[in-house]
Structure 1
Amino acid sequence: MDWDDLRIFLAVARAESLSGAGRRLAMDASTIGRRIARLEQAIGAVLFAKTPQGYALTAEGERLIAPAEATEQAAAAASEATRSEAGLTGQLRIGAPDGCANYLLPQIARDLCAAHPGLEVQILALPRVVNLTKREADMAVAVSAPDTGRLVAQRLTDYRLHLAAHQDYLDRHPPIRDIADLKGHGLIGYIPDMIFDRELDYLSETGTQTAAITSNSVSVQMQAIRAGAGLGIVHDFAIPFAPGVRRVLEDKISLKRSFWLIRHADDRASRRLTLLAELVAQAVRAEVSRLQAEVSAAPHRLA
């Protein structure tokens, strides 16, 4: 059995479509369809059932997943054995919620690529949990550790969030000295039914009212705050990127969360990915610390 056929099989199984697999492999969907048909003919079994939702694995396809992934790991190990020790090269895809993806990972990717010129870093920003089982990414930063799947989690660092508003908004409204003063103010937060992790349910934890403007994106929430639309819970590490945004009631509303680095359990055998995971972990810790220190050191109004 040809490893390249198995590689295509895994891509279709993970993407659940020929077009999705084609994008991952930079191949034409019709070519992928022919290769899958060839593989099915070679082993004498139907591997996928076409449904309205896409390509679903049959029972025979499910049984092929484990040996195909074992072959994939062996091929990766062989590639690593022949790769130069001079530096880390190739593609690295990191998945993350958009707060981390927007305000931390760009600087981290810049420094990784500068230190390792042959490295290509892809940042996958998603308003949901990254699916490592389907190999959407090589590793993911998450706000909580997974409790299902063949995944391993490494705690990276704690970070802080505070209620914040733009100075223009604060200047146009009465002073906010206590939580009770928030009554009547416009709040900005997540769309309630699109909160994909309980750790993101910020407003309910603060006891404040329902938000008037909501989005599933942290960046959109921050842009609304910058536009003077109201107050919202923001990451301290994002504030340096938003001139004019100030923390409010920081002695009364202060949230602590943690970042975790998630990897597929099988990838621990990869020396390359292990080294890259260590570099990403160190960089996330350092960048969160640097940006939070910058916010704490800067003068700001409590409102």
Structure 2
Amino acid sequence: MNWDDARVFLALGRAQTLRGAARALHVDQATVGRRIAVMERNLGSMLFLRTSTGYLLTAAGEAAFEAAEGMEAAATELMRRTQGLDKALSGEVRVTTTDFLAVDFVIPAMARVHAEHPEVRVVLNSSSQLLNLSRREADIAIRTQKPENPDLIVRRLARWPMGLFASRAYLDSHGMPEPGRAFMGHDLVVYEPHLSEGRELLLVGEPAGGGRIVATVNSSMMMRRAIAAGLGLGEIPQYIGEQDGLVRLWPERERSRPYEVWMVTHADLRHTARIRAVIDQVVQVFSEAGPG
């Protein structure tokens, strides 16, 4: 099995569907199916069980998968070490972040990089999916969770208090909530993962059991847009609420956990010229936004 075959095999082993593997590899499903069939014929072993729910590794497939991951690790290390010596201000830099951070910070940084180094091309992945830097799925990650991997270089870009906000239109219609009434008579916009944790819902420390949840969202961008549209009250970073012209309620209260933003890259790549250029501009844009 060569490295090109191993990439296809690993993609299908992880995605467990032809469609998912094809999407990860940027090829069509027929190509994935054909490559896997050729691999199995050349190896003389069935690597996958074809089931109604997808492709499952056989015992032989599991052994091959472990070996293929070793090939992947070696190939990735080779790329990191050689690219870490690259001083050229040209080529591709892959950045992954959330939609809100992409719009407000990363895209302005990209514009500055392009103005100074037009041969540097940034590939931006905006989603809540956590890509793997060790497998070089991205060169730079900008996230709200701090990773613990010792091979990664981590830098905090921002630390904003979380406040309770509403639009002026919502307050004109519903009035101000009263502390101690658990948001009785008020509409709430809630971050969906907080509900799925099964804990009591709190907004800036106030129990929210008396309120009506009118929307749940899974991204900061959707949260701020829902609040701005007058759907209800919600928690967002103070910096963002003020920037969007929203009204902060109970300004003496904050969520116990602030909103933190971390930039992460692999230790082997931090001195690559084109990656360094992107990192510097991202840091500058965040620093201009205020205290972090």
SS, match of residue 130 in structure 1: coil
In the alignment, the residues of structure 1 paired with residue 196 and residue 24 of structure 2 have an alpha-carbon distance, to the nearest angstrom, of: 28
In the alignment, the residues of structure 2 paired with residue 181 and residue 51 of structure 1 have an alpha-carbon distance, to the nearest angstrom, of: 50
1:85-234 equivalences in 2 (<5 Å): 85-94=87-96, 96-117=97-118, 118-126=120-128, 129-132=129-132, 137-146=138-147, 152=152, 154-157=154-157, 158-175=159-176, 178=179, 182-191=183-192, 203=202, 206-210=205-209, 212-213=213-214, 214-234=216-236
Report sequence identity in percent.
27
- Asked which structure has the greater RCO (Cα within 8 Å, sep 6+), the reply is 2
TM-score by length of 2: 0.75
Task: Figure out how many residues of one structure are paired with residues of the other and give that number.
Answer: 281
Amino acid at match of 1:65: A
Q: CA deviation at 1:247?
A: 1.8
Q: Note if contact 1:236-1:292 (Cα within 8 Å) is conserved in structure 2.
A: no
Gap runs ≥5 in structure 1? 294-303
Q: Note if contact 1:7-1:72 (Cα within 8 Å) is conserved in structure 2.
A: no
Q: Note if contact 2:162-2:204 (Cα within 8 Å) is conserved in structure 1.
A: no
Gap runs ≥5 in structure 2? none
What per-residue deviation string (whole Å, max 9, x for no partner) do you get for residues 11-31 of structure 1?
Answer: 333433332332333322212
Q: CA deviation at 1:287?
A: 3.5
Amino acid at match of 1:68: M
SS, match of residue 212 in structure 1: strand
TM-score by length of 1: 0.72
Query: Does residue 287 of structure 1 match 2:285?
Result: yes
In the superposition, relative to structure 1, how do residues 142 and 35 fare at CA in structure 2: closer, same or farther (>3 Å)? same
**For the aligned residues, what is the CA RMSD?**
3.8
Runs of 4+ off more than 6 Å: 272-275
Q: Note if contact 2:162-2:235 (Cα within 8 Å) is conserved in structure 1.
A: yes
